[in-house]
Chains A and B, each alone.
Chain A
Amino acid sequence: MNGRAIDLPKPYAASARPVRRLQSAWMPRVLLPLLLPVLLLGGAEMAVRAGWLPANLMPPPSEVAATLAWLAHNGLAGHLGASTLRVALGFLGGAGAAMVLGALVALDRRAAHLLDPSLQALRAIPSLAWVPLLLLWFGIDELPKLILIGIGAFFPVYTGVVSGFAGVDRKLVEVGLLYRLPKPALVRRVLLPAALPSILTGMRNGLALAWMFMVAAELIAASRGLGYLLSDGRETSRADIVLAAIVLLALLGKLSDMAIVALERRLLAWRDSHDGGSA
């Protein structure tokens, strides 16, 4: 066999018709996901205007949009900023602790025996059950909110880290041992990259739960944030404000999820996985 270059297999070669491929990819990726929301919003608008739904309980989407526009000039940025900051800080704390403890449990048998049974027992507690205790201990300031969000983010990330390390192919570890990698290098060069898909899935789930727990925390006690808007809308019987806050939560949740998916795509480009069309 000589050393000549060989063409890459066809599936990985550049497409002969990139423009056509782009057009055909654009349609399902951009337009298709919008179809259902547009239909639902249009249907809701029609149903309310036709009097099939009571406007005081289910304001039409156009009114929700007008409320959003009004809120934009009346403190919406502060609410968005407060909620986003809480999620960011709570998630960083919870996910960071989960990474450290998860790696410790996954890589050290004694740490696993010491920590994992207790953490699994704590995981079994519905996270909202912590709320009364957190309020008793820390009052209604920022700290209990951040801790609650952190608890919400902790367990999915912890599970992702532990199962990711545990699921690393023994044969790849053997290659690392064959080439005399010391333990820190084995973790950095073999275990961590191999566990990354599971860790990122854990982070994605953890971030979704962080948003959920942020709402719970703000519903209980807050003077700013989207949870506060929800609570305020309910107390003043303003369903348009409640719906506006829900729309914003959906948008923020989706945006943060898209950020993790983009990170996943970038870090896991090496994966030879089936792309079934799911984001």
Chain B
Amino acid sequence: MRLLDIEVDDKRYGARTVLSGLRIGLARGEIVSLLGASGCGKSTLLAIAAGLDRTARASVRLGGRSLAGPDAGIGFVFQEPRLFPWLTVAQNIGFGAAGARPEAVAALLEEVGLAGYGEALPKQLSGGQAQRVAIARGLVSQPQVLLLDEPFSAVDAITRMKLQDLLARVAAERGLALLLVTHDIDEALYLSDRVVLLDRQPGPPRTELALPLARPRRRGDAQAGAWKAELLRLLDAGVAV
């Protein structure tokens, strides 16, 4: 049985249908990347999965349980860190779960490489550090699934690689399923077990590719290079990233 099932019958913005007849599932511990042209509904799909979009005709099931809104079993990391500037780093992380114990928050800070930053304010953090805090906040409720909407698109290349490593490690250690929206093919290849290509036309996914690449992944791997060429070919055939 799949851990997460998302079915979108219909999602419109005004008269424009963005998503329709789309079904995506995640197995426990599976990492899936969503690739597709801008405006094809990737972020909308994530918002529906997180329970943030109530206007879609859609259903979300987690572990067989039907969800009617946001759920502690699903964490979310936005494109921007979206930290509350008036809260300390520890308070921002604790915001993700009512009654989060200070020891749990400290352990998360350690896990994301920010030990000693608990009392810092968001204004004192770099972009990469702020996104680490956002990841920690997404993890504090001990979710089974983490949704990530282009989480590293605003950071520099080196920071992005470090954050990708962090995410791969955290997902492996926790057995966490990830659904990642990205425009970065290398990122999708580095992190994912499966890549789903969405078309600009609403409907079922254009293609789904299972990536039989060994873990831990290595950057610049020759086999990954071959898959990159295949992905580029598919995207070139009709899906602009």
Contacts and interface: CB of A to CB of B under 8 A. Distances in A.
Interface in A260-279: 270-272
B84 A190 contact: yes
B111 interface: yes
A7 to B, nearest CB: 9
A177 B82 contact: no
A220 to B, nearest CB: 43
A174 interface: yes
A6 B116 contact: yes
A123 to B, nearest CB: 30
A1 interface: yes
A179 B113 contact: no
Contacts of B129: 6
Interface stretch (B14-22, B33-41, B119-127, B226-234): B119-127
Nearest to A185: B98
A1 B165 contact: yes
A129 B113 CA distance: 63
Interface residues of A, number: 25
Given A177-B52, A270-B121, A193 B86 contact: yes
Contacts of A194: 86
A179 B70 contact: yes
A101 to B, nearest CB: 25
Interface string A163-197: 00000000110110111100000000110011010
Interface residues of B, number: 39
A9 B124 contact: yes
A5 to B, nearest CB: 3
Interface in B98-138: 98, 109-117, 120-126, 129
Majority DSSP secondary structure for residues of B touching A: loop
A1 B170 CA distance: 11
A6 B82 contact: no
A171 B78 contact: yes
Contact of B113 (A2, A180, A271): A2
Given A178-B50, A180-B70, A1 B166 contact: yes
A9 B110 contact: no
Nearest to A192: B86
Interface string A1-41: 11111101100100000000000000000000000000000
Contacts of B151: none
Contact of B85 (A5, A175, A178, A272): A272
Interface in B47-106: 50-52, 69-70, 72, 76, 78, 80, 82, 84-87, 95-98
Nearest to A7: B116
Given A172-B84, A178-B76, A179-B96, A5 B123 contact: no
B174 interface: no
A272 B69 CA distance: 33
A144 to B, nearest CB: 40
Contacts of A189: 95
B116 A5 contact: yes
A3 B169 CA distance: 13
Contacts of B80: 171
Given A178-B70, A179-B95, A6 B117 contact: yes
B162 interface: yes
B124 A3 contact: no
Contact of A3 (B69, B70, B110, B162): B110
A107 B207 CA distance: 45
B123 A270 contact: yes
Contacts of B87: 270
A9 B129 CA distance: 11
B86 A6 contact: no
B82 A171 contact: yes
Interface string B206-224: 0000000000000000000
B56 to A, nearest CB: 15
A3 B111 contact: yes
A272 B123 contact: yes
A46 to B, nearest CB: 49
A196 B124 CA distance: 20
Interface of B: 50-52, 69-70, 72, 76, 78, 80, 82, 84-87, 95-98, 109-117, 120-126, 129, 162, 165-166, 169
Given A6-B116, A270-B85, A270-B122, 12 more contacts: A1-B162, A5-B116, A6-B117, A9-B124, A171-B82, A172-B82, A178-B76, A179-B98, A194-B86, A271-B123, A272-B85, A272-B123
21 contacts: A1-B162, A3-B109, A3-B113, A3-B115, A6-B113, A6-B114, A6-B117, A8-B120, A171-B82, A175-B78, A175-B84, A177-B52, A177-B70, A178-B70, A178-B76, A179-B70, A179-B95, A179-B96, A189-B95, A270-B86, A272-B123
